[in-house]
Homo-oligomer: A and B are copies of this chain.
Amino acid sequence: MQKYLTIYHDLAKKIKANYWPKSTMLPSENELTAMYETSRETIRKALNLLAQEGFIQKVRGKGSVIIDVNKFDFPVSGIVSFKELAVNLKQETRTIVSELEQVEADKQLQSKLHVEKGEQVWKVVRVREISGEKIILDKDYFNSVYVPELTQEICADSIYHYLENDLQLDISFARKEIVVEEPTDEDRELLNLEGYSNVVVIKSRVYLDDTSLFQYTESRHRPDKFRFVDFARR
């Protein structure tokens, strides 16, 4: 593994474990250079990563202050699969595959997935149950060129795990959009909406390493259970 990543992970782990008191300085770059027996540039790469992820704040002429991280509980920012999220949640979760089929792309899908008319597309509809309540409705569409086969088992477990480990796809980046919509009949039917008159919809286009678009997803959430946490720099 690369040195700067190893150092980054080591420092991140120590910060999370409160190895240093919050709001105090990290050792200086020169000290870290000596501690890890490497060069200053390598340390700086690790520190810049830490700053980007909100662990530290670099102050010129002074040093790196450890930011008091109040554990981000639901980082929908970034690309994270539901299964990866679920392990952080205390509650019981369950995934119900309600639909799984290969369909021809209609006009709407064509524009969202950038495929030609009539091309084959996998459609997966899944309901996410948290603590016994049906909270999230995930509608995924995959370009069959990149995902030729999907099974009930894969969808019930983790599609992302299958794509990355078995199909060796390099998922790279996504464009996301969050809006609030009125529930569709499908939403009302599949979710426990409890009279709520809105759903929060996260629409994502997901791209591979080679910038090809392979997935379009709508994640539809009951509004009271939705929470998006973000870290932003000016």
**What is the interface of chain A, defined by CB distance below 8 A to chain B?**
23, 52, 54, 57, 59, 65, 67, 70, 72, 77-79, 171-180, 196-198, 200, 207, 209-211, 223-224, 226-234
Q: Is the CB of B57 within 8 A of A209?
A: yes
Are A172 and B234 neighbours in the complex by a CB distance under 8 Å?
yes
Contact A232 B176, CB 8 Å, known A57-B209, A59-B209: yes
Give how many copies assemble into the complex. 2
Q: Which residues of B contact A173 (CB under 8 A)?
A: 54, 57, 67, 231-234
Chain B residues, Cβ within 8 Å of A78: 232-234
Tell me the bound Cα distance from A134 to B211 in angstroms: 40
A223 touches B210 (CB 8 A): no
Kindly provide the distance from the CB of A63 to the nearest chain B CB, expressed in whole angstroms.
11
- Tell me, rounded to whole Å, the shortest Cβ–Cβ distance linking A58 to chain B: 10
**Given A59-B209, A172-B57, A232–B178 Cβ distance below 8 Å?**
no
Q: Which residues of B contact A180 (CB under 8 A)?
A: 180, 198, 200, 223-224, 226
Would you give the shortest CB distance from A198 to chain B, in whole angstroms?
A: 5
State the Cβ distance, A65 to closest chain B Cβ, in Å: 5
**Chain B residues within an 8 Å CB radius of A176:** 228-232
A54: chain B residues at CB < 8 Å are 173, 175
Contact call A179/B227, Cβ cutoff below 8 A? yes
Known: A57-B209, A79-B232. 14 other contacts (CB 8 A): A54-B175, A57-B210, A57-B211, A65-B210, A77-B230, A78-B232, A172-B234, A173-B231, A174-B231, A176-B230, A176-B231, A177-B227, A196-B198, A198-B223
Instruction: Report 22 cross-chain contacts, Cβ distance below 8 Å, ordered by A residue.
Output: A52-B52, A54-B175, A57-B209, A57-B210, A65-B210, A65-B211, A78-B233, A174-B232, A175-B229, A175-B230, A176-B228, A177-B230, A178-B178, A178-B229, A179-B226, A179-B227, A179-B228, A180-B180, A180-B200, A180-B224, A197-B197, A198-B198
User: Which of A177, A223, A230 has the most B CB atoms < 10 Å from its CB?
Assistant: A230
User: Given A180-B180, A210-B59, do A234 and B77 touch, yes or no (CB 8 Å)?
Assistant: no
Report the separation of the CA atoms of residues A72 and B205 in the bound assembly, to the nearest whole angstrom: 13
